[in-house]
Amino acid sequence: MNQIINGMIIRAEGYIRAQYPKYLFAAIMVIAGFFIIRLVNNALARLFDRTEFDPTLEIFTQKAVGFVLWVTLVLVVLGNLGVNVSAFIAGLGIAGFIIGFATRDVLSNLAAGIFLLIIKPFKVGDIVETAGIKGRVKEISIATCRIISEEGEYIIVPNSKVWGAPIKNLSRLKRKKPLQGA
């Protein structure tokens, strides 16, 4: 019995000595990756501070970039540890397709929200008419617009409805007379 335990200990010790550099390198990669990701996020924050970037879009962009960098770091570390990451990536692709199909309305709202924040057809405080609703814009987020109607109703409109409908910004109306030939 003693001989079996000694044999197991010797094999475990040999395995640890053989694998130690690989695990040490993986730990160093994780630590370095953490600092690189922080550096990239800080650089993005400085870039956004110098430009007139929408705060909601800024947060979304920083989180998306951080997420992609973390996933990449994990895949690289796992690959260096000998894990077959190609099967993992294929699984992520299939899971992404299923999740995307199941949440297509949510993703549609997010995409529309990004377009609204970039193109800026209206801003908070503007009076707009869109998706059958007329009122003052109270808030624009990545997924919804919040509008207070003329009757005082607080209406939350999904961004896909706003982006998919004509947007009439009554606050930017400059002409009082109709256009000639219209």
CATH of the domain at 23: 1.10.287.1260
Tell me the average pLDDT across 1-8: 78
- Per the CB < 8 A criterion, the answer to whether 127 and 170 are in contact is yes
What CATH number is given to the structural domain containing 159? 2.30.30.60
Helical residues (DSSP H) of the chain, grouped into ranges: 2-50, 55-80, 85-102, 104-119, 159-163
Across the chain, what does the average pLDDT equal? 87
Q: Which residues contact 112 (CB under 8 A, 6 or more apart)?
A: 158, 159, 160, 162, 163, 164
- Per the CB < 8 A criterion, the answer to whether 122 and 131 are in contact is no
**pLDDT tens digit string along 54-88?**
777 788 888 889 999 999 999 999 988 888 888 88
Question: Is residue 137 classed as helix, strand or coil in its secondary structure?
Answer: strand
Question: Is a pLDDT exceeding 80 seen at residue 7?
Answer: no
pLDDT of 1 reads: 72
Count of structural domains, the chain:
2
In a domain, 116, yes or no: no
In 3D space, the residue among 164, 165, 158 whose CA is nearest the CA of residue 103 turns out to be 158
Pairing state between β 127-130 and 133-140: antiparallel
Question: Is a pLDDT exceeding 70 seen at residue 179?
Answer: no
In a domain, 110, yes or no: no
- Per the CB < 8 A criterion, the answer to whether 165 and 134 are in contact is no
88 lies in the same domain as 157: no
Q: Which residues contact 12 (CB under 8 A, 6 or more apart)?
A: none
Question: Is a pLDDT exceeding 70 seen at residue 28?
Answer: yes
Percent of the chain clearing pLDDT 70 (strictly above): 95
> What residues make up the domain containing 152?
122-172
Q: In this structure, how many other beta carbons lie within 10 angstroms of the beta carbon of residue 150?
A: 10
Residue 112, classified by CB atoms within 10 Å of its CB into exposed (0-12), middle (13-18) or buried (19+), is buried
In a domain, 177, yes or no: no
Range name among 60-64, 151-155, 165-169 with the lowest pLDDT average = 60-64
In 3D space, the residue among 122, 109, 100 whose CA is nearest the CA of residue 169 turns out to be 122
**pLDDT tens digit string along 79-130?**
888 888 888 888 888 988 898 888 888 889 889 988 998 888 998 999 999 9
